[in-house]
Structure 1
Amino acid sequence: MQKQLILLGTKGCHLCEDAERLLQELNLPYQYLDIIDDEKLLQHYEISIPVLLFASTDNTNELCWPFNTEMISHWLMHNE
């Protein structure tokens, strides 16, 4: 079973848009969570978005910006 990939970001963030394009280039299914909708996420990730992580984990293994498609693939391989 594949883990659900989550992209944390917020509207108007050009880096978050770049991260979405990278995930689309890799044809990776993901859920986008806007940190502005969650005070806890906002406090934790406000200056580090975009961030990739998996749902239902302790989020100790995150991929924070800057990243590219090669880095995403490598990170995913080591987190299966």
Structure 2
Amino acid sequence: MELSAVQYISDKQGHTTGVVVPIELWQRIQKMMEEKIPTQEANAWDTLQNLTGSLSAPSDWAEEHDHYLYGTNKQKTKQS
């Protein structure tokens, strides 16, 4: 079952307002989330540690976040 099986529901302006997900896909998503969600005993540091490496981003993400989020021009790298 692929993501193409997901059906999107939109309002009159074309904004997505909901989704219809096949039960098999929903069960897989739930299982993945259960494996990723830390237990109640975990503190904030444990939660951050568990999330480390779970997001792929360009190497210049921190410096160029406005470019990636809003499409602004990249800032010139300062030469030392």
Bigger fraction of residues in strand: 1
TM over 0.5: no
Question: Given the two structures, how large is their TM-score scaled by the length of structure 1?
Answer: 0.23
Rg larger for: 2
1 or 2 for the larger relative contact order (CA 8 Å, sep ≥6)? 1
